[in-house]
Chains A and B, each alone.
Chain A
Amino acid sequence: MSSGDNAHKRGETALKATHLVKRFKTGRSYIEVLKGVDFDAKHGDVTMVMGPSGSGKSTLVAALSGLLKPDEGKVSALEASDLWSLSNGKIDKFRLDHCGFIFQGFNLFPALSAKQQVMTALKYQGVGKGEQARRAQAALESVGLGARVNQRPSELSGGEKQRVAIARALAKNPNLIFADEPTSALDGENGQIVIRLLREAASVRGAAVICVTHDPRLEAYADRVIHIEDGRILDDVRRTPDADPAPFSH
C-alpha cells in the first residue's frame, strides 16, 4: 500500500535510473530515442524534464514509470531495486500502489462524474466503498472542485478536467507522480493552478514529482530542471523554486 504522507522522506532518492537506452523501429532502421540516460528523482522535489519535441522526454518518463520497457539500463524505484526485472503483473501492482499519472489529454471517462472518476481509480486499489467516497471528496476539494464533484467531464472546463485528473492521481497518495505536459492544453490561469497543485504534492506530501514539459513558465516551480535533447541529458540544474512566481500570461 502507499504510505500516504512521505514528508519525512524529503530529500531521499525515490527513483534512480542508469544508462537507459530505448530504440524504436521505423521501417528498416532503428532510431535511438534514449541514448544511455542516467536519471534520479528525490522525494519532495519537482523535477522538470524539458526539451523540444522528439527529444525523448516522454519516452524517458514511460521507461521510469513502468509503462515502456527500455532496451537497456536499469530503473530502481522505491522498494523495487530493478523495476523492469519484475513480471508484468508486479509492475502493474507497483504502479497501482505508488504511481500517479497526469497526461496532456485528460482521459476521463465521459460517463462518470468527477467523484466517480476518482473512486474508480481507488476501487482497483482495493479501497472500500465508503472510504473511496471520502477520499474522492477530499481529493476533489483539495484541487478546488468541492462544488463540482457530481459534474461529468462534458460539463467541466479544460482546467477543471485536468484538476479532476490530478485528484484521481493524488487520491491514492502516490510516492511518484508523473506528469506529461500537464499544462499545455490549458490557459495561463488554469495552468498555474495545476502546477501549484503538483508543487504542493511534492512539498507537502513528499512525493517525487516528475514533470515533462516544454513550457518555460513552469521552471519557476521546479527544484531541479533537466534539459534533454536527442536522447541525451544536456544539463541538470538544481535550483530553489521561486517563492512567488510571476503569474502566467498567455
Chain B
Amino acid sequence: MSLALATLLYEWRRYMAAVVALAFSGLLVLAQVGIFVGIGKGFTAQIDRASADIMVLAPGAKALFSGPQGLPRRFIPLVYSHPEVTQVAPLDFSGGRFQNILTPEQQVKAQAAAKKGGKGGGPGGGTRKSEFVNLTVIDAIPGYVTVPTDYSPSMIEALRRPFAVAVDDTALKRLGVKKGDKALYNGKTVYVAVVTHGYPNIIQPMLVVSRDTLRMLGEADTGQRVGPLMVKISDPSRAEIVAAQLNKKGEGKFRAWTRQELADANASSMLDDQIIGIILGFSAFLGLLIGVIITWQTLRGAIMANIKEFASLRALGVSMGDLRNIVLELSFWVGIVGVLAAGLLTWVVSLVAAAGGVPMAFPPLLIVVVAIFLIVIAMLSGFLSLGVLKNSQPADLLR
C-alpha cells in the first residue's frame, strides 16, 4: 500500500472534511440533475414503459417533446409496409382542467370550514380541487403497442369503458379524488377507474384514457396529422436494424428512433433547457468552488500535520517532485473516496425523494461526468496544496 493511501486510511478523520465537501458538491449537482431528469421521465414514463420498440417522430425532433412533433397520417401505412412491423399506433396527447366533484356532505363540510376561515378541508379531504392535467392515450387492448407493460389486463379492461380515466396514486391527493370517484375533465364527467402505481409527475398530474374515451371527449386527433408513431416489430432485438431501414424508407420525411435512443434523448433534452442549464451550471460552479476551497484547506492542514515526516524524507534525499507526487496521489484517493461518498449520499437522498413521490433519474453519462468532476476538484485542491511542501525544510528538523 502506498504512503498516500495508508495515510488517508489511517488518518481518515483528518481528511473527513474534504471527503464530506466533495460528497456534498457531488450531491448538489447529481440531485439537481436527477430531479430534472426525473421530472422529464414523469412526462414520458407511460410511453417509456409501453412495448413500442421503435418510435417515429417528425424529422428534426430532438426528443419526444422537443422540436416538431406531428406527422401526416399517411405515414402510418408507410411504416406498416415494412415486413417486420406488426403494430403501429399514433400517440395522442391532450390536457385540460380537472375538477373533483364533492358529495353533498363534503360540500357542507367545505362550506363550514370556509366559514371558520380555515384553510383546506378536514380529514377525508373534502375540498374542491381544480388542476390542469396532462392526458395521454392507450389503446385498451391487452399487449397493444401503446399499453405500458406493467398494466394488468383488469386495468386495461377498466379503461376500455367510456369516460374511464387512470390516475397515479401520487396524484390522487392533489386531484382530490379516489378510485371510483366521478370528476369533471374540461367540463365533461369522467370517473377514476384505475389507480396506477409508479407514474409520479411532480409538475402536472397525468391522466391516462383509452383512445375511444379521448374521441368521446372530443379531443382526439382525427385530422390529417397525428402524433408520433409507436411501432412494434416482430423481433425486438432487431430494433436498430429496422429503425435504420425505416429511416431509409422515409427518405428524411420522418425519423425512426429505437426506444433506448429516444429515452436517452428525452433525458438529456431536459438539461438542454436554458433555465435548467443555467441553474445546473451555476450549482456546478458553486460545487466546484466550495469543494475546492474546503478540500484544499483540509489537504493543506493534513499535510502540515505531517510536514516533519515529509521533511525527514527530504533529508533522506527524496526529491521535492516525489513529495508532490505523494500529495497528488493523496488528493486522487480523497477524490475517489469523495465519489463513493457522493454516490452513497445521492442514493439516500433519492430514496427519500422517491418515498415522497419525487422521482429522480440518473443517466449513466451524468454519473461518469460528476465522478470526473469530483476527482478534478480533488486534484485541483491537491495542486493548490503543493505550496505547503515548501515548509518541509529538513534543516528545520535540526533545531
Q: What size tier do the contact residues of chain B reach? A: 20 to 34
Residues of B with C-beta under 8 A to A168: 316
In the complex, chain A residues 81-130 whose Cβ is within 8 Å of any chain B Cβ: 89, 92-97, 99-101, 103-105, 107-112, 116, 120-121, 124-125
B397 touches A99 (CB 8 A): no
Residue with the highest number of chain A CB atoms closer than 10 Å, among B1, B9, B11, B309:
B309
Chain A interface extent, by class: 35 or more
Given contacts A124-B317, A124-B322, A168-B316, contact A109 B397 (CB under 8 A): no
CB interface residues, B 367-399, toward A, < 8 Å: 393-395, 397-399
Determine whether the beta carbon of B394 is less than 8 Å from that of A67: yes
Query: Does B311 count as interface, using CB distance less than 8 angstroms?
Result: yes
Which residue from B3, B11, B308 sits with its C-beta under 8 Å from A120? B3
Instruction: Give the chain B neighbours of A65 by CB distance below 8 A.
Output: 315
Cβ–Cβ < 8 Å partners of B319 in chain A: 89, 92, 96, 124
* A109 lies within 8 A of B318 (CB): no
Given A94-B317, A96-B318, also A62-B6 (CB < 8 A): no
A1 within 8 A of partner (CB): no
Tell me if B318 and A92 are in contact (CB < 8 A).
yes
Q: Give, as a whole number of angstroms, the nearest-CB distance from B391 to chain A.
A: 14
A-B interface pairs (CB < 8 A), number: 94
Nearest Cβ on chain B to A93's Cβ, whole angstroms:
7
Q: Is the CB of B397 within 8 A of A124?
A: no
With A101-B312, A103-B312, A124-B322 given, is the CB distance from A111 to B397 under 8 Å? no
Cα separation A7 to B36 with both chains bound (whole Å): 75
Contact of A152 among B10, B316, B394, B397 (CB under 8 A): B10
Chain B interface (Cβ within 8 Å of chain A)? 1, 3, 6-7, 9-11, 306, 308-309, 311-320, 322, 393-395, 397-399
Chain A interface (Cβ < 8 Å from any Cβ of B): 58-59, 61-62, 65, 67-68, 89, 92-97, 99-101, 103-105, 107-112, 116, 120-121, 124-125, 152, 165, 168-169, 172, 180, 212
20 cross-chain CB contacts under 8 A: A62-B395, A67-B315, A68-B395, A92-B317, A94-B317, A95-B316, A97-B317, A100-B316, A103-B312, A103-B315, A105-B397, A107-B397, A109-B309, A111-B9, A116-B3, A124-B313, A124-B318, A124-B322, A125-B317, A180-B398
